[in-house]
């Protein structure tokens, strides 16, 4: 009988440790996946600006031109849209919400200028959660994403 109680106790302890490790791993993976997705979408925004691509019928008035593509980053997600020389922002082509518990350290409108003119500023974005898991993404003034 005592052997059985000891075996059940050891099994319970091992199960508890395994569950905690799995939960921490899942949280870390969530932050890493958000960082990978954000990097991919930063590159998408950059590529649209490099190619000068603009939505049909948008920014086509007299004297208007496409100035770039923006990724509007908030603490809980981001949107991607074109920017016109008249100051208007085009229709949002993508909206992403971060998973619950994952946040961005900064809020910013990152403007990738058309035809290889770079970015309006340098940015360091830290994505993280309450458990201390974090990933850092840097965008320099020439538009390099790392």
Indicate whether 63 belongs to any domain.
yes
Q: Based on the structure, what is the number of domains in the chain?
A: 1
Indicate whether 123 belongs to any domain.
yes
pLDDT confidence of residue 65: 86
Indicate whether 121 belongs to any domain.
yes
Indicate whether 115 belongs to any domain.
yes
Indicate whether 84 belongs to any domain.
yes
Indicate whether 144 belongs to any domain.
no
**Who wins on pLDDT, 3 or 19?**
3
Token pair listed for 13:
């302890």
What's the rounded Cα separation, in Å, for the pair 94 and 48? 13
**Who wins on pLDDT, 140 or 18?**
140
Indicate whether 6 belongs to any domain.
yes
Q: What is the pTM of this model?
A: 0.82
**Taking the CB of residue 83, how many other CB atoms lie within 10 A of it?**
22
Instruction: Tell me the residue range of the domain where 21 lies.
Output: 2-139
Indicate whether 25 belongs to any domain.
yes
Q: pLDDT for 17-61, tens place per residue? A: 776 666 677 888 899 999 999 999 999 999 999 998 888 777 777
pLDDT confidence of residue 19: 65
With contact defined as beta carbons under 8 Å apart, do 112 and 49 qualify?
A: yes
């Amino acid at each position: 009988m005592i052997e059985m109680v000891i075996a059940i106790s050891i099994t319970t302890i091992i199960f508890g440790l395994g569950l905690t490790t799995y939960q921490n791993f899942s949280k870390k993976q969530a932050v890493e996946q958000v960082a990978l997705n954000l990097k991919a979408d930063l590159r998408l925004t950059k590529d649209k600006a490099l190619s000068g691509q603009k939505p049909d019928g948008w920014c086509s008035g007299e004297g208007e031109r496409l100035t770039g593509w923006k990724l509007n980053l908030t603490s809980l997600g981001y949107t991607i849209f074109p920017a016109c020389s008249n100051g208007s922002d085009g229709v949002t082509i993508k909206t992403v919400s971060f998973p619950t518990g994952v946040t961005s350290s900064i809020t910013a409108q990152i403007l990738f200028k058309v035809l290889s003119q770079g970015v309006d500023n340098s940015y360091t974005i830290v994505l993280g959660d309450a458990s201390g898991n974090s990933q850092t993404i840097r965008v320099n003034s020439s538009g390099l994403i790392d």
